[in-house]
Structure 1
């Protein structure tokens, strides 16, 4: 059985190349050869090598080994994870020892015994794999420091609607089925995704979240699949994508309804094959990631309108979970108020309570921003309260209603309606993107995408 490794042999002696290639191709998946070291860069860009067999001397400098040292340093600067084996004549063993000090993995003396060459290359292959694993771990640690979110909030409820959600989560979490979470903005879709992860066999692995509404078209593949150094102008180093960061764990893609059709096709292909290819690489990588998606869009309607691929929808919604708006689960409001009151009272070193009459007023409010609005409102009230009672007037008198349309809609074209609605919200809030996004039920990133789309 052939080893999966890839080898490049660089020697200006064609006989050496032929003999070594015939031997090594019997044992390794890919063996490339060249007589010209000037071609090394081209090969490094086109292929991902594990081992390079490099001659110490070429015709330009047949004795000192200087050219071999130069190319050794060049390779290690470009691809430090590659194992370089220097090839030398018996009389040049001192040069070979110096090459190892300079970063070569090993050397082989010419002429060699086939068994000796195989042993050296196999050991170098293992060394290269160890280097790559270490590099991958470092990249993952860097990526995790950027991708991991803050402390997890509580996912609470005792209403019949939420008990039904919890029951579905408990059943679905035990499987690796892809899950689609539906619901209005602010209903806790990310909290539901985290609850699924925590209840799954992957709970001790990583949970990675990504807001698709904040990912630009140009960075889509890099964010999800990673990239290699030099793949594009700002690719200063290799980067691990979210699928690899979440390997063995769970990947949560929020606002999946914002994906353009072209990106849906790319993501669908990756999910079908369970393989991804980083930008700038020609090597596919297997992944084992549990996918959880969420959106506040009606994806079935989007499919009918040609804005969402039906095959992609079927791929991501093996299990669907719909989170009810807070106005439909009034029974849960006291529980949530007490939870966030305790949390923020502790955070801001306060001791506050809610009177029964004030709790009734909070339960009667419609909470258009759902649980997210409730949490932010309680925090604001805790900060502004004096004495030992929560000042709910700081909540109920400062709620901004969803803005009326300030431009009379005179078309049924959905694209134009969206443009006019976004423009009206911005005008109503005097250009405040955060407030406009909240009123529209969008994240800031999703609103920015629409501003760019409509050139507003």
Structure 2
């Protein structure tokens, strides 16, 4: 038995009684009104699932205009209610007009009980479906807010950074594809998130994809989705990242690490704005704002035959170059103070400060690892500091701009990170070449870098 609530509005009390008797065992609650004027102030109107509404109330009037008017009143007060119009004067044009103005259905008097019950059941199912959709949209909106709560900490007021942020604000309101480049650790993802938060898509989802962490065999499944049974582990249908980002922003990080084969598949999806799930034939349209990032020189990769020129043109409508930390002047001190406050709180070591000589040392250092290196440096200094003042000796850096390799004072993870950074620098950020030199797979290399970035 449906568990809904029905309100019947008719000036004929015999009709009200007959309908009340018919429906009382079919629905949880059946209420009646003999005067439609009460609809304007009727309490809890929005809690009803269905309103059975007569179309004519004044003697001698059978135009149906009164019913259409009261239908509009109901829809203004409770838009999601299913309204079924009733009249003894049936006319196709009147039915069409009622449906155009938001009515769910139309029945004639005298009614057939079975047909009436079937009409009500259908209307109740529609109301339940609309309610479920509304609740799902609310949940979706909430989830998007949660996902987008990633806090952007773009700290600094240097000319180099300000110039980038000004460009970001100009570009953000458009839907053009953006390529964000810069050295490792400069904050390319923060720039991508700033583009999203300043765009018309800010209330939609931001989906970030680490392209270097996706194996070539799973590329299509991860980005385009798959159907159940498409391959051994495909136990259910799954949407890819393109579909997940529909309406919002898709951020493809480290795009320079894609093979030529996967580049071709990505180009097709970007050009056609459609994806096809693995194991399916049906194309799915997607509406995304695409932002890509890399620390590689894609122009050089194109010249070397490692990156498709047509793909570069597609993703590079606007190019944003994030400046290295060494070019940002006193931003170093602003960032150092930010991380100082963060790690003092994290490790319960309050009251620390950086003295003047230490500040000079931080500014003079070239920061080859950029903001990421500064973050790790500040965390280590806070952990190891015994007093309340951070001095130059608390920051183990040398004149060449690389961390001093003192195996007695370093952890295995720190030593690994130095070797990884050296290899990446040698091969201009090419993860495949760096991994080959280090004797590990590209996937292992990526996992080690991400583990370090997360402070693990």
Q: TM-score range by the shorter chain?
A: 0.5 to 0.7
The equivalent position to 1:440 in structure 2, one of 399, 417, 423, is: 423
Please tell me whether the aligned partners of residues 276 and 285 of structure 1 are also in contact (alpha carbons under 8 angstroms): yes
CA distance in 2, matches of 1:449, 1:274: 35
Q: 2:216 maps to which residue? A: 217
Q: 2:201 maps to which residue? A: 202
Q: 1:348 maps to which residue? A: 347
Structure 1 unaligned residues grouped into runs of 5+: 1-118, 404-428
Q: Select between 385-394 and 158-167 the one with higher mean Cα deviation.
A: 385-394
Please tell me whether the aligned partners of residues 158 and 328 of structure 2 are also in contact (alpha carbons under 8 angstroms): yes
Return the offset for 1:437: 2.5
Return the offset for 1:438: 3.0
Q: Secondary structure at the match of 1:396?
A: coil
TM superposition score normalised by structure 1: 0.59
In 2 relative to 1, CA 243–400 (structure 1 residues): closer, same or farther, beyond 3 Å? farther
CA distance in 2, matches of 1:301, 1:394: 40
Return the offset for 1:455: 12
Return the offset for 1:331: 2.5
Please tell me whether the aligned partners of residues 176 and 317 of structure 2 are also in contact (alpha carbons under 8 angstroms): yes
Q: 1:164 maps to which residue? A: 163
Please tell me whether the aligned partners of residues 214 and 445 of structure 1 are also in contact (alpha carbons under 8 angstroms): no
Q: What are the within-5 Å matches in structure 2 for residues 36-435 of structure 1? A: 151-350=150-349, 351-397=351-397, 433-435=416-418
CA distance in 2, matches of 1:455, 1:381: 28
For 1:335-368, what per-residue CA distance to the aligned partner results, in whole angstroms no more than 9, with x for missing partners?
Answer: 1111111122122222211111110111111111
Please tell me whether the aligned partners of residues 212 and 443 of structure 2 are also in contact (alpha carbons under 8 angstroms): no
CA distance in 1, matches of 2:353, 2:430: 31
Q: Secondary structure at the match of 2:353?
A: coil
Return the offset for 1:164: 0.6
RMSD: 4.0
Return the offset for 1:166: 0.6
Please tell me whether the aligned partners of residues 207 and 251 of structure 1 are also in contact (alpha carbons under 8 angstroms): yes
Return the offset for 1:454: 13
In 2 relative to 1, CA 206–453 (structure 1 residues): closer, same or farther, beyond 3 Å? closer
Q: Secondary structure at the match of 2:185?
A: coil
CA distance in 2, matches of 1:133, 1:447: 49
Q: What are the within-5 Å matches in structure 2 for residues 6-45 of structure 1? A: none
Please tell me whether the aligned partners of residues 164 and 321 of structure 2 are also in contact (alpha carbons under 8 angstroms): yes
For 1:358-415, what per-residue CA distance to the aligned partner results, in whole angstroms no more than 9, with x for missing partners?
Answer: 1011111111100110011111111111221125534325999769xxxxxxxxxxxx
TM superposition score normalised by structure 2: 0.59
Return the offset for 1:171: 0.3
Structure 2 unaligned residues grouped into runs of 5+: 1-118, 404-411, 446-456
In 2 relative to 1, CA 349–178 (structure 1 residues): closer, same or farther, beyond 3 Å? same
Please tell me whether the aligned partners of residues 366 and 401 of structure 2 are also in contact (alpha carbons under 8 angstroms): no
CA distance in 2, matches of 1:430, 1:245: 35
For 1:45-70, what per-residue CA distance to the aligned partner results, in whole angstroms no more than 9, with x for missing partners?
Answer: xxxxxxxxxxxxxxxxxxxxxxxxxx
CA distance in 1, matches of 2:238, 2:422: 36
In 2 relative to 1, CA 237–393 (structure 1 residues): closer, same or farther, beyond 3 Å? farther
CA distance in 1, matches of 2:399, 2:240: 39
Q: 2:64 maps to which residue? A: none
CA distance in 2, matches of 1:374, 1:448: 24
CA distance in 2, matches of 1:444, 1:133: 45
Q: 1:413 maps to which residue? A: none
In 2 relative to 1, CA 444–309 (structure 1 residues): closer, same or farther, beyond 3 Å? closer
Return the offset for 1:326: 1.0
Return the offset for 1:179: 0.3
CA distance in 2, matches of 1:175, 1:336: 30
Q: Secondary structure at the match of 1:180?
A: strand
